[in-house]
Amino acid sequence: MWGGRFGEGPAAVMREINASIPFDKRLWRQDLAASRAHVVMLAAQGIINGEDAQAIADGLEQVAAEYEKNGVPEDLDLEDIHMHVESRLAELIGPVAGRLHTARSRNDQVATDFRLWVRDAIDAVDAGLAAFQKALVARAEEQADTIMPGFTHLQSAQPVTLGHHLMAYYEMAKRDRSRFADARARLNQCPLGSAALAGTGFPIDRAATARALHFDGPTANSLDSVSDRDFALDYLMAATQCALHLSRLAEEIVIWASQPYGFAILPDDYSTGSSIMPQKRNPDAAELVRGHSGRIAGCMTALVMTMKGLPLAYAKDMQDDKPPVFEAHDLLALSIAAMTGMVETMGFSTGRMRALAESGFSTATDLADWLVREANVPFREAHHIVGSAVKMAEDQGMLLAELSLADLKGIDERIGEGVFGVLSVDASVASRASHGGTAPDQVRARIAEAKESLG
């Protein structure tokens, strides 16, 4: 393809380090789509004649059919997917194939192909996240009244509902989808026609190729167009954030499924056994989602490092942009699917959750709030009084609600019979009815909004 000025072919190691076909063959559909749009435009502009354009278009269809049927062959001498397509086209239709590369370069070609690929990847992730959200909302609705301990510092804090807890992940996924949508909107400009770096002297119609490939329009600066990989980084950063959320849920599932917690039971299809310990039921899928998130962040870092010192415009370093994006995407798609499956099928030990919520003095704040509200005690003083009550209950091996009124009055005279109405976990949860709070009515209102927005 570029042999004109060279006396000898590349060394074997040069061929190997140079070739991207082993991974960029994944771009074949996008490469053919961009070539189709390009050849139609070349003919419409009178840059090549209609007969040649038709021969090229037909040839491209044939290449597509072959790849669809047999996969893309890997010839390291042909470097990359762009050369593979062009060389096969030449075998099929002869020298007229050489007219396809008029007014373009592999630099704008790869930038276009890769944008198209990332755009499809974003659409796939968005669909996966929507399914994940639906699973969360369905389980949240089912568990809207289920009491569980809420934690800070992984210490029992205040009772919440399981529905509320699950809906927290719905919110994270919602932000993830919006980040991917932002990335998609920014990505959707077509670099094709920027040629090698400077644009072209041929009278091309960039708006037409942009339209044909469903971009919003052509990019504005040819140098930027061939050197920009922000769209891939946007994808990787959104993927990293999303993976981070999945990893936090995965960690919770691992904790919940442990025997000391006993909050959740993973079904057989998302657990594995041990080859030595017959009793084992391991949460491997959750652990792998947690593990994959690290690799996804690594992919993001890899591309940041590749791009950070590159002068304008194209440099071959940029060929390394694709493996981390492909890897991150595969890992993320799998993680979202596995997490959706776990959320859909996980069993909850609601009795155990409730027992632990009741045992951790988790309504201590409710007692303090009662003193503020009913006895006009300043909150800091109330906090101190309740601290003494917790200590007394702890010493007697009792729950707060099990202390006698006499005991409580011994700590502070102002405590009255009414406190027993706020010391239960149900009363505590029901009282947290501020917007976005854990009260079941609030959670149901958020679930209704979520269902509405998920359609």
Contact at 8 Å (CB) between 243 and 332?
yes
**Residues 256-295, mask of contacts with ligand ARG (x by CB under 6 A):** ----------------------------------------
Catalytic residues: 153, 274
- Beta-bridged to residue 282, according to DSSP, are 272
Contact at 8 Å (CB) between 148 and 161?
yes
- Select from 64, 65, 87 the least CA-distant residue to 75: 87
Distance separating alpha carbons of residues 424 and 399, to the nearest angstrom = 10
Distance separating alpha carbons of residues 261 and 250, to the nearest angstrom = 15
CB closer to ligand ARG, 104 vs 354:
104
- Residue position matching structure tokens 């021969």: 55
Q: Is the omega angle on the peptide bond into residue 313 within 30 degrees of 0, that is, cis? A: yes
- Residue position matching structure tokens 């301990």: 149
For the bound state, the minimum distance from the C-beta of residue 217 to ligand ARG, rounded and expressed in Å, comes to 23
CB closer to ligand ARG, 107 vs 112:
107
Distance separating alpha carbons of residues 251 and 257, to the nearest angstrom = 10
Stretch that binds ligand ARG, among 29-37, 311-319, 366-374, 425-433 (CB under 6 A): 311-319
For the bound state, the minimum distance from the C-beta of residue 179 to ligand ARG, rounded and expressed in Å, comes to 26
Q: Looking only at Cα atoms, what is the longest distance across the chain?
A: 101
For the bound state, the minimum distance from the C-beta of residue 39 to ligand ARG, rounded and expressed in Å, comes to 19
Judged by DSSP in three states, 157 sits in strand
Q: What would the two tokens of residue 296 be? A: 């996804």
For the bound state, the minimum distance from the C-beta of residue 308 to ligand ARG, rounded and expressed in Å, comes to 17
For the bound state, the minimum distance from the C-beta of residue 107 to ligand ARG, rounded and expressed in Å, comes to 5
Stretch that binds ligand ARG, among 197-205, 212-220, 310-318, 431-439 (CB under 6 A): 310-318
Distance separating alpha carbons of residues 270 and 282, to the nearest angstrom = 9
In this chain, which of 219, 222, 225, 319 binds ligand ARG, going by CB under 6 A?
319
DSSP code for 272? B
CB closer to ligand ARG, 224 vs 412:
224
Distance separating alpha carbons of residues 225 and 246, to the nearest angstrom = 33
What is the distance in angstroms between the CA of the first residue and the CA of the last residue of the chain? 51
CB closer to ligand ARG, 51 vs 120:
120
In this chain, which of 48, 56, 85, 110 binds ligand ARG, going by CB under 6 A?
110
**Per CB under 6 A, 107 contacts ligand ARG:** yes
Distance separating alpha carbons of residues 336 and 273, to the nearest angstrom = 23
Contact at 8 Å (CB) between 303 and 321?
yes
Stretch that binds ligand ARG, among 227-235, 263-271, 312-320, 371-379 (CB under 6 A): 312-320
In this chain, which of 89, 103, 318, 423 binds ligand ARG, going by CB under 6 A?
318
CB closer to ligand ARG, 104 vs 177:
104
How big is the site for ligand ARG, counted in residues (CB under 6 A)? 10
For the bound state, the minimum distance from the C-beta of residue 202 to ligand ARG, rounded and expressed in Å, comes to 19
Distance separating alpha carbons of residues 139 and 127, to the nearest angstrom = 19
CB closer to ligand ARG, 318 vs 328:
318
CB closer to ligand ARG, 75 vs 412:
75
In this chain, which of 26, 38, 84, 106 binds ligand ARG, going by CB under 6 A?
106
Stretch that binds ligand ARG, among 66-74, 105-113, 265-273, 442-450 (CB under 6 A): 105-113
- Tell me which H or E stretch contains 173: helix 162-187
Summarize as ranges the residues that interact with ligand ARG (CB under 6 A): 20, 24, 80, 106-107, 110, 314, 316, 318-319
